[in-house]
Structure 1
Amino acid sequence: MKLSNYGEFPADIPVIAEDDIFLYPFMISPLFLNDEKNINAATKAIEDNSLVIVCPTKPGHDGEREYASLYDAGVVGSIMRKVSLPDGRVKVLFQGLARAKMLEKVSDEPLIAHVDVIPSVEVNSLKIDAILEVVREKVRTLSGVSNYFPPDLLRTIEENHDHNRIIDLICSTVKLKKEQAYKLFIETDTEKRFLDLIDYLIDEIEANKLQKEIRSKVHTHIEKVNKEYFLKEQLKQIQKELGTDTARDEEIEEYRKKLESKKSKMSEDAYKEVSKQLERFSRMHPDSSDASMTQTYLDWVLEIPFGSISKKSLDINKVEDQLNKDHYSLEKPKERIVEYFAVKELLELRGIKQTKSAGAILCFSGPPGVGKTSLANSIASALKRPLVRIALGGLEDVNELRGHRRTYVGAMPGRIVQGLIDAKKMNPVIVLDEIDKVTRNGRGDPTAALLEILDPEQNSEFRDYYTNFNIDLSNVIFIATANDVGRIPKPLFDRMEFITVSSYTPQEKYEIAKRYLIPQELKKHGLKKSELTISKPALKELIHSYTREAGVRNLRRRVAQMSRKAALMMLKNSKLSKISVSVKNLNEFFDKSVFEIEKTDKVPVIGVVNGLAWTAVGGDVLKIESIRIKGKGTMQLTGSLGDVMKESARIAFSVVKTLIDTRKLKISAENIPVTFKEKEDGIKIDPSEVYKRYDLHVHVPDGATPKDGPSAGIAMVSVIASILSSAKIRSDVAMTGEVSLNGDVLPIGGLREKLIAAHKADMTKVLIPQKNYERDLDEIPQEVKDAMEIIGVKRIDEVLKQVLV
């Protein structure tokens, strides 16, 4: 295939970028294309039956496909074959034809350049032939000290008379840097190319000679080290025969001393197991694999802090003080924690043994960032006990908890025993983080191991597979955390007592930021209190418009971001001694606001209702929409609804039909579509026919987010009743509650989070089930109750009276 078979040059042809190497003419190379620009360029060349130029990227621009990031020279050639690979890449077989240079960019998509062939200038053939002999000599020398040139390539260089072809062959074989390769590639003067190549070959020869010398020295050194090793091994055997090798005996004696010092604190079966393994170790050959495994076992088990207990006695006042010091609000959780430890203190004061009657395991449940783990930290600080955190998220191997049997390679104790070793005490506070995210697969069920660990009746004899003896966990205080308690298996659920750590209100977030987050972050960033101040309106705006969460984790990040920018401003301007953040300059510290919940517009509309939802990250306001279309009375549901919400919608549709049939929901005659014949004949249509003559479409935005739960019933009834009766729904009213077929409003969960969400959305009225009103209203923050009217409803008729206008 010749260049002349294609159009004349200069020409506009597609450009393919190559990250790794320079290609040269007459090379047939496979290219693997994994980015869109290169693939588009190859496709363009194949479709137009044109050539393509392959240009390497400049150093430091790997992966970039812009014109400026490429060398302006490359190889013009043709694509012989193109194959799409299963992993999304495209493989093309490229044949180079000539060196070429890009003169200017023509387009970006795909990348096309105006390209011309690089001419070759040869002046004095006798002189070039003489230089060529020098090049061949250098190549022969380099092949003697390296493995760059195979015999067939050397023969080609010796026999070929195409000067530029010889240069390209040598350059493609020798490992030149991109910049060196480019200078040789772009040069038009053949004599100059040869002379530059000789310089590079001389450097490469010297470098390879040095490498060969170093390799020789290293080989000699290794031989010497091996010789010393064998001599030392022989010396050891001689010393052993003479009875003078005491190092191993000293090691075994050290293990025996450790074991005897712990004997009084260990259980009988633990002492027996460790003694047995120590005796086996003393009889083993030191170089056997079993000896190494047994020594590792002894190292682990003799680090377990048998009998080491924190002697600090329980003081309920200190626990309460520490919780109040570290956490604002959270009154119910703190009260329950204090009660839990009050029982323990009373048992301790009266000398009642509590190893098997320590009570339920506490589990803090709630959205991320509300302070579940930090509550456990406060408990550990108050009790003066070490804290061990075991992250259970994604844990799927039961051996991670129970330990691996010693027959397996790389066996080690389970996380519980490792936690005791790290804590150096047998009564630490162990936090089992994200217990709701433990998964089950073919390697066992970790939740089954957790049943034994968390059961006060069983954990005094917890057996780790690695240690192979019982360990007493009855003195350990276990505290679990979870985001969604519904995902915890029922048997494990029964072992725990759940303390709900709910969402914070905006006012609570303000107090937490003022008392804890801002002082802590200023200290972390090396700022004094006087150097960075934030006004009360600015802090409230930061909470309101720049964070989206139930807890305060993102709020802490925002405060940290503000502190970083303040530190930078102070370093750049040495005269600046104080930075004040106000509502006016808040956007200088943060890129954009994140509106958590859409505000109500107060304008009543038909077919849109505000429902309240609980999520794992707090409450939310869901707008449920509905439209009607002339049809036969069917209903379509969209919005990624789960089975429970779909059932709620069907029940709601039946309830509305009943209300229409019993005349409790008035339907105007204007709302009923009639056929031309019915109109012409003067037939009067019963208002109850309305739901038979429309198809309904109920949608819950946004459609990509899965939604489910038993609390959308009354909202579904309201939106269907509104669209069929053409009555408007008050936009400043939100609601939550399930509905029965008889029209009773049933109680729901997650009321606190839902009401906080309604408060953030500026709702003036919220409808909740009467049972929730009587039972749960005292758990709602006072500022939420003061900001809006909360009404308890028993029947769906009461709901429609409140929302339809």
Structure 2
Amino acid sequence: MDLTNYDEFPQELPLIIEDEVFLYPFMIAPLFLNNKTNISAVEKAINENKLVIVAVSKDGQESQERADGQFYDVGVIGNIMRKVSLPDGKIKVLFQGLAKGRISQFKLDNPEVCQVELMETKPYSLESVTSILNILRENVGKLSKINTKFPVDLIKTIDENNDAVRIADLISSVLKVTKSQAYKLFSQTDIEARLVAIIEIIQKEIENFKIQKDITQKVNSKIEKTHKDYFLKEQIKAIQQELGTGNKKDEEVKSYSKRLKKLKPFMGKDAFKETKKQIEKLSRMHQDSPDASLLQTYVEQVLDIPFGQYSDEKISVDAVEKQLNKDHYSLEKAKERISEYFAVKQLLEQRGVENAKSRGTVLCFVGPPGVGKTSLANSISKALKRPLVRVALGGMEDVNELRGHRRTYVGAMPGRLVKGLVDAKKMNPVMVLDEIDKLGANNRGDPTAVMLEVLDPEQNHEFRDLYLNFAIDLSQVIFVSTANDARRIPAALRDRMEFIEISSYTPNEKYHIAKDYLIPQELEKHGLKKTEISMSQTTVEMIISKYTREAGVRNLRRVFSKLFRKSAKKILSEGESKVLINTKNLKEFLDNPIFEIDPADKKNMIGVANGLAWTAVGGDVLKIEAIKLKGKGSLVVTGNLGDVMKESSRISYSVVKVLIDESKLKIDLSTIPTSLKEKDEKVVLEPSEVYKRYDIHLHIPEGATPKDGPSAGITMALTIASILSNKEIKSDLCMTGELTLTGKVLPIGGLKEKLIAAFKAKMKKALIPRKNYERDLEDIPDEVKKALEIKPVDKIEDVLKEGLI
């Protein structure tokens, strides 16, 4: 410690306050400073070639503004060896400690400096501290053996040095102590007391390390014990397995055996044998084996099948008819066929015919969306008091979804039919096979092949699910299927079903359905009372005609739902006790009206005819237009048409040409363009020149909607005949029929939907093929037949006679 080159003490020195640890006189340490006052003190020391004192802030006072009592009154006096400026205004200084000092005076008006005096250690004799130093060296040696982070070089320095103050400073600098403890060691001037305090701290640290070591050993012992316990438990399990003593798995196996024993009278021999075999295999298998959980899942799936559980309610035709009439308006043919189906079953049951429940065909309801196919099955379920299971077949391509996956596959499960029985908890539910026409086939198999087995009464009593690996009886399930288009169902599958056509509803039928079913149901669903909504018959009819386009009533229900949602809001927000909905304010509740089927034109036109078309959502009126252009007799057809309709247009054009050639269609020769030379020579034109000198452009509007089929044949022929003969077509006339090259009119399908569309469009007359007139007219609703004059046609001449003016 050399202070001879500096002024005598006490003296005023720049003050640096450090936040972390006490420095000692022997240290050369870097200090990183960002406090403005500290930086000013450093600048002052460098500029004036002065010493500085480094003090330490008290706990909780770090980075505070300088004040009396914020820092300890002792520190290290030293000099600034080097200063380096850092980014963001910080500096780094290299500080060399020289001596200990005590701050005797600090003034707030000049916080950069303070009055400092040297702190001297009280005199001592080497003999008095030698024994204490020996104890200290011994304890430091013990600590260094326990604490691997203790500096090894420090032990050598202590052993080779006899300066007690130096030894005390060296050890104090490496001890992990709090600021208050460090201050007591630093400020202690009695060397004996200081050495004793250091020994106490070292002994406490030695004890702490011993405790930590003991805890670590105990934790390791506990982990070892856990492993030991695990292996012992595994040995116990193995011993129990060898001795056959019970554990949890054995209890579960016993419960499975009891359940199987109860089900035995109702299961087939193969089913019982397979299940028993798997339970015995499970009992021999270790419960932690990967196959054990798969096997256990299989056993539980089998035991969940409701073997022997049947709905005891006997079939009653009266109950079925009552429920059907309660739930559905109209659909008389469908109701009658369902009643006949269950009448046969009831009669067979009453007369005790063997296997009566498995006899009879499978019903398939065919019709557009929303006409009540699935709800008919719901009514059957209610009437028979049997659970309803719905199996959605739309888009299904994997045959294993119906037949089940083999247990060798990961995540294997029973097929949907078996799962349906489990969900129903009965072996004789009503099972709806929804959208059977949308089954698909790919490289994973053809699901329709499975349906052949399911729907065949001769086979479904032994339906084999691949997951179960035994036959299961489906003969007592009442299968009801639904489809939008029966033509898409494979022929072999169609052969096993009886189709019940459910056609479009007429506007009058829709009104009664809305009045008696939809409106009351939607009022209840929206928490409204009948007295809170006022809606006239005219309003409901307007909603049906101008806001919905469908064969069924699903969209109509949505419209009423929208009306009642807005009504509920009005009642709550505006406090209305009654909401009036009429034709005048209907736009406030709904958007602008949607006119899907244009009404009949009032004016007769040349080259525009009304055809009738069938769509997936019912019938439609199809306007077919034609124009003639000077040309060479070619035919151009536009519109989103399929191949069949394009061919039909060419047939129609050829038929009209034949009619012109045979003079059955008279042509105004004055309308045929002639050249000047022909006029000069007074050439007499043939009627055939009309189709030789004109090109025909035939157009079917609404290109966004695909159209195909032969039933527009007579309509296209009439349109072409009109444009070539320059004769108008009756605007209130519509027609449908396929046309042959010889001019015969062939029957078509979907007549009911087509005539309902004509009725909605307010047509007055409809031309249909004679075979349809004789065969299908009884299916047409009476209100349609009263409003529409329906005429049969046999050949194209009949069409021209009725259509051209």
Specify the SS of the correspondent of 1:687.
coil
Specify the SS of the correspondent of 1:385.
coil
Q: Structure 2 matches for 1:709-788, cutoff 5 A?
A: 709-788=709-788
Specify the SS of the correspondent of 1:302.
helix
**What's the CA shift for 1:704?**
2.6
Partners of 2:498 and 2:682 lie apart in 1 by 68
**What's the CA shift for 1:261?**
0.5
Partners of 2:220 and 2:573 lie apart in 1 by 59
**What's the CA shift for 1:676?**
2.8
**What's the CA shift for 1:161?**
7.9
Q: Structure 2 matches for 1:659-670, cutoff 5 A?
A: 659-670=659-670
Specify the SS of the correspondent of 2:594.
coil
Contact 2:633 2:693 in 1 (8 A): yes
1:195-225 Cα distance to aligned partner (Å, 9 max, x none): xxxxxxxxxxxxxxxxxxxxxxxxxxx9999
The residue number in structure 2 matching 1:188 is none
Change (3 A) 1:763 1:276: same
**What's the CA shift for 1:130?**
8.1
Specify the SS of the correspondent of 1:426.
coil
Specify the SS of the correspondent of 1:313.
coil
Are 1:672 and 2:669 matched, yes or no? no
Partners of 2:762 and 2:710 lie apart in 1 by 24
**What's the CA shift for 1:680?**
2.7
The residue number in structure 2 matching 1:365 is 366
The residue number in structure 1 matching 2:326 is 325
1:523-549 Cα distance to aligned partner (Å, 9 max, x none): 111111111121111111111111111
Are 1:588 and 2:585 matched, yes or no? no
Specify the SS of the correspondent of 2:602.
coil
The one-letter amino acid of 1:402's match is R
Contact 2:637 2:699 in 1 (8 A): yes
Are 1:240 and 2:241 matched, yes or no? no
Change (3 A) 1:685 1:263: same
The residue number in structure 1 matching 2:391 is 390
The one-letter amino acid of 1:491's match is A
**What's the CA shift for 1:438?**
0.8
The one-letter amino acid of 1:420's match is L
The residue number in structure 2 matching 1:22 is none
Are 1:474 and 2:471 matched, yes or no? no
Contact 1:239 1:245 in 2 (8 A): no
Contact 2:358 2:475 in 1 (8 A): no
Specify the SS of the correspondent of 1:557.
helix
Partners of 2:729 and 2:521 lie apart in 1 by 47
Are 1:289 and 2:290 matched, yes or no? yes
1:127-163 Cα distance to aligned partner (Å, 9 max, x none): 79989xxxxxxxxxxxxxxxxxxxxxxxxxxx99887
Superposition RMSD in Å:
2.4
**What's the CA shift for 1:739?**
1.3
Specify the SS of the correspondent of 1:734.
strand
Further displaced range: 405-414 or 225-234: 225-234
Identity of aligned residues (%): 62
Are 1:267 and 2:274 matched, yes or no? no
Partners of 1:129 and 1:448 lie apart in 2 by 92
Partners of 2:224 and 2:634 lie apart in 1 by 90
The residue number in structure 2 matching 1:513 is 514
Partners of 2:315 and 2:296 lie apart in 1 by 39
Change (3 A) 1:617 1:230: farther
Are 1:374 and 2:371 matched, yes or no? no
Q: Structure 2 matches for 1:391-790, cutoff 5 A?
A: 391-574=392-575, 576-790=576-790
1:141-198 Cα distance to aligned partner (Å, 9 max, x none): xxxxxxxxxxxxxxxxxx998879xxxxxxxxxxxxxxxxxxxxxxxxxxxxxxxxxx
Partners of 1:352 and 1:680 lie apart in 2 by 93
Partners of 2:349 and 2:232 lie apart in 1 by 61
Contact 1:355 1:456 in 2 (8 A): no
Partners of 2:615 and 2:793 lie apart in 1 by 23
Contact 1:356 1:457 in 2 (8 A): no
Specify the SS of the correspondent of 1:588.
helix
Specify the SS of the correspondent of 2:728.
coil
**What's the CA shift for 1:355?**
5.4
- Structure 2 gaps of 5+ residues are 1-33, 41-83, 90-218
**What's the CA shift for 1:464?**
0.2
The residue number in structure 2 matching 1:54 is none
**What's the CA shift for 1:776?**
0.8
Partners of 1:163 and 1:726 lie apart in 2 by 96
The one-letter amino acid of 2:544's match is I
The one-letter amino acid of 1:538's match is T
Change (3 A) 1:229 1:484: farther
Partners of 2:600 and 2:260 lie apart in 1 by 71
The residue number in structure 2 matching 1:204 is none
Specify the SS of the correspondent of 1:566.
helix
Rg larger for = 2
**What's the CA shift for 1:649?**
1.0
Contact 1:671 1:724 in 2 (8 A): no
1:482-509 Cα distance to aligned partner (Å, 9 max, x none): 0111111111111111101110011100
Change (3 A) 1:223 1:578: farther
The one-letter amino acid of 1:476's match is V
Contact 2:634 2:696 in 1 (8 A): yes
Change (3 A) 1:439 1:230: farther
Q: Structure 2 matches for 1:84-233, cutoff 5 A?
A: 233=230
Change (3 A) 1:128 1:517: farther
Partners of 1:501 and 1:319 lie apart in 2 by 18
Partners of 2:643 and 2:459 lie apart in 1 by 39
Contact 1:751 1:776 in 2 (8 A): yes
Contact 1:376 1:431 in 2 (8 A): yes
Partners of 1:228 and 1:647 lie apart in 2 by 88
**What's the CA shift for 1:236?**
3.5
Partners of 2:277 and 2:602 lie apart in 1 by 79
Change (3 A) 1:233 1:338: farther
Contact 1:380 1:429 in 2 (8 A): yes
Partners of 1:252 and 1:351 lie apart in 2 by 41
Contact 2:712 2:737 in 1 (8 A): yes
Contact 2:349 2:357 in 1 (8 A): no
Contact 1:355 1:460 in 2 (8 A): no
**What's the CA shift for 1:229?**
7.8
Partners of 2:534 and 2:705 lie apart in 1 by 39
The residue number in structure 2 matching 1:797 is 797
The residue number in structure 2 matching 1:352 is 353
Change (3 A) 1:226 1:484: farther
Partners of 1:592 and 1:375 lie apart in 2 by 33
Change (3 A) 1:376 1:683: same
Partners of 1:162 and 1:677 lie apart in 2 by 104
The TM-score with structure 2 as length reference comes to 0.71
Partners of 2:236 and 2:655 lie apart in 1 by 95
**What's the CA shift for 1:592?**
2.1
Partners of 2:222 and 2:728 lie apart in 1 by 91
Specify the SS of the correspondent of 2:703.
coil
Partners of 1:776 and 1:225 lie apart in 2 by 89
**What's the CA shift for 1:245?**
5.3
The one-letter amino acid of 2:612's match is L
Are 1:253 and 2:250 matched, yes or no? no
**What's the CA shift for 1:598?**
0.9
The one-letter amino acid of 2:615's match is T
Contact 1:535 1:580 in 2 (8 A): no
Contact 2:363 2:499 in 1 (8 A): yes
Contact 2:406 2:412 in 1 (8 A): yes
- Structure 1 gaps of 5+ residues are 1-124, 132-158, 165-221
Partners of 2:39 and 2:235 lie apart in 1 by 68
The TM-score with structure 1 as length reference comes to 0.71
